[in-house]
A = this chain, B = another copy of it.
Amino acid sequence: MNKNKKSPQTVEFKNKPKIIGNYSIVGPKEGAGNFGEYFDYVMKSDLFGEKTYERAERKMVETALVGAIDRAMLTPRDISLLLAGDLLNQIISSSYAARSFDMPYLGLFGACSTMAESLAIGASLVDGGYFKTIACSTVSHFSTAERQFRFPLELGNQRPPTSQWTATAAGCSILSLEGSGPVITKATFGKVTDFGIKDVNNMGAAMAPAAMGTLVRHFEDTNSKPEDYDLIVTGDLGKLGSEILIDLMEDKGYKLGINYCDCGQMMFRRKQETLMGASGCGCSASILNSFLLKKIKDGTYKKILFMATGALLSTTSSQQGDSVPGIAHAVVIEKE
Q: Which residues of A contact B (CB under 8 A)?
A: 7-9, 11, 51-52, 54-55, 77-78, 80-81, 85, 87-92, 95-96, 98-99, 102-111, 117, 120-121, 124-125, 127-132, 148, 189-194, 312-317, 320, 322, 325, 327, 329
A14 to chain B, nearest CB (A): 10
Please give 12 more A-B residue pairs, beta carbons under 8 A apart, in addition to A91-B109, A106-B117: A90-B312, A90-B317, A95-B109, A99-B192, A99-B194, A105-B191, A105-B192, A106-B120, A106-B121, A106-B189, A108-B109, A124-B124
Cβ 8 A contact of A52, one of B130, B131, B193, B320: B320
Majority SS of interface residues in chain A? mixed
Query: Given the complex of chains A and B, what is the CA–CA distance between A181 and B189 in angstroms?
Result: 27
Contacts of A312 in B (CB 8 A): 90, 92, 95-96, 107
Shortest Cβ-Cβ A-B pairs, 5 listed = A128-B128, A104-B189, A90-B314, A95-B312, A107-B109
* Copies of this chain, whole number: 2
Given contacts A11-B130, A315-B89, contact A190 B105 (CB under 8 A): yes
A314 to chain B, nearest CB (A): 4
Name A318's closest neighbour in chain B (CB-CB). Answer: B92
Cβ 8 A contact of A316, one of B88, B102, B125, B329: B88
